[in-house]
Amino acid sequence: MPVSLRDELVEIYEAAVASLAGDRLVREHLEARRDELPSKPTEIVAIALGKAAGPMAHGAAQALGPIGGLAVGPAGMSAPTGFEVVLGDHPVPGPRSIRAGIRLLAFVRSIRRDQTALVLLSGGGSALAEALPPSLALPDLAQTTKLLLAAGAPIDEINVLRKHLSRVKGGRLAAACSAARGELLAISDVEGDDPGTIASGPFSPDPSTYGEARSIVTARGLEGALPSQVMSHLRSGRDESPKPGNPLFDRWSTAVLAGPSQLAAAARREGEARGFRVIASTGFSKGLVEDVSRGYASWLDENPGKRMLLVGAGEPTVRLPPHAGRGGRSQQLALLMAAQLDRRRGMDAAFLAAGSDGRDGLSDNAGAVVDGATADRGRAQGFDVEEAIRLAASAAACDAVGAAIPAFASGTNLADLHLLAIG
């Protein structure tokens, strides 16, 4: 039985994600540099933070032996023997995130000067661990995060706010660490692979300022909506984050092991192995999902050749309506593409959008894969794709039409993968 175009895209996605598993990336990097690190595992203290914290910690233990440390990650995470495990909340910080952040800060402060700090960082750490200034409480942070997400603020803007409402982000953990040597290994889910942006850069210098944070609030029209305590803190400018050039960072070295461009490259290799003529989308896919879908639809109209595949990676944003349904940016983008393909009847095409971390938003799905018949299947099931898009109720719609890709533990976090194929 021939494989459908939709199934091919799912297989390309799964193969690309599996090839960049966090444990393998860390293990191979550390094995190649084993002679540069302390010979005794007890002289190394590891801190793993983010969605891929567990797999990255396992990779470090495989390469270095029985090291100890702290792993802060999402529910269901496991870590090697010798690691303390603390679970946080995601994508909106919750009570577990505050407990995780306080424990993380205390753990970092306990590292001795004669030890080497090995930091294993991946995206998601911003929400998973937080320690707040005394004037702020968790509801203030949660409300601020929700308002920024609903306003369609990109991750770089959200991170500027996060860094200035925190005692751990924006290089503050590096400032709290007394280790004479620090090694930061990161898996990137951000444009440009900037370590200062990944998980809000807890161990990297922060060029942003309180003034920039206030400007973002004003530009997004949120001055009257944010909690008054948040606005007061931003206006106070207390405890500015450590900046580039600060000598405290001289003892730190940083390596980004993989990012969105490597994810796209892995998908390209897999597509070419399957006989597709592959074109890589230029740059990091960002902006509103509506604009991204129109760009992909234009490519369809300009490239009607057979067995063609467009590969992109990034994290577009969704502007949420009041009383939004359940879903995520990848499923919302997939539904928009289903509507685009519905308007191009007769074209054999399919589109996939899914998170490399195996999850999409607050749903139970990793993303979705659609084709020209998806909208018809929705109508047959009583789901209007256009209405689901308006309500941002993408998860229920994708489940109903058989487009959903179930969530899974991928072991990595490299932004979202987008695949658009012509059969």
Residues 54-70 pLDDT 10s:
999 999 999 999 999 99
Q: 377 with 388, same domain? A: yes
Strands 308-314, 416-422: pairing is antiparallel
286 and 246 within one domain: no
Q: What is the pLDDT of residue 405?
A: 98
Cβ within 8 Å of residue 55, ≥6 positions away: 21, 22, 23, 26, 411, 412
Whether 144 is covered by a domain: the verdict is: no
Which of 170, 421, 417 lies closest to 272 in space, CA to CA?
421
- Domain presence at residue 368: yes
Contacts of residue 250, Cβ cutoff 8 Å, sequence gap at least 6:
none
Average pLDDT over residues 306-319: 94
Q: Kindly state whether residue 160 falls inside one of the protein's structural domains.
A: no
pLDDT band at residue 408, thresholds of 50, 70 and 90?
A: very high
The 3-class SS string of 163-231 reads HCCCCCCCCHHHHHCCCCEEEEEEECCCHHHCCCCHHHCCCCCCCCCHHHHHHHHHHCCCCCCCCHHHH
* pLDDT tens digits, 110-149: 999 999 999 999 999 999 999 999 999 999 998 998 899 8
Query: Tell me, what amino acid is at 362?
Result: L
Residue span of the structural domain in which 372 resides: 261-422
Checking if the pLDDT of 282 tops 80, the result is no
In this predicted structure, the answer to whether residue 320 has a pLDDT above a threshold of 90 is no
Give the CATH number of the domain where residue 109 resides: 3.40.50.10180
Total domains present in the chain: 2
pLDDT of residue 1: 64
pLDDT tens digits along 7-37: 999 999 999 999 999 999 999 999 999 999 9
Q: Is residue 4 part of a domain?
A: no
Query: Same structural domain for residues 372 and 251?
Result: no
The verdict on 291 and 248 lying in the same domain is no
Q: Do 247 and 287 belong together in one domain? A: no
| Same-domain check for residues 107 and 191 | yes
> Are 389 and 267 contained in the same domain?
yes
Residue 7 included in any domain: no
Q: What is the mean pLDDT of residues 404-410?
A: 97
- What pLDDT band is residue 93 in, cutting at 50, 70 and 90? confident
The per-residue pLDDT for 153 is 86
User: Is residue 399 a part of any domain in this protein?
Assistant: yes
Question: 421 with 347: CB under 8 angstroms?
Answer: no
157-178 pLDDT, tens digit each: 988 999 999 999 999 999 999 9
Same domain, 312 and 347: yes
Read off the CATH number of the domain in which 277 is found.
3.40.1480.10
Whether 117 and 250 share a structural domain: yes
pLDDT of residue 298: 95
What integer is the mean pLDDT of 368-379? 94
What would the pLDDT profile of 245-263 be if each residue is shown by its tens digit?
Answer: 999 999 999 999 999 999 9
In a domain, 118, yes or no: yes
Q: What pTM did the predictor assign?
A: 0.93
Residue 333 lies in a domain: yes
Tell me, what's the pLDDT at 373?
A: 94
In the predicted model, is pLDDT for residue 283 greater than 90? no
Residue ending a domain, choose from 258, 293, 328 = 258
Q: Verify that 386 and 271 share a domain, yes or no.
A: yes
The answer on 398 and 299 residing in a single domain is yes
User: Are residues 288 and 356 located together in one domain of the fold?
Assistant: yes
197 or 345, greater pLDDT? 197
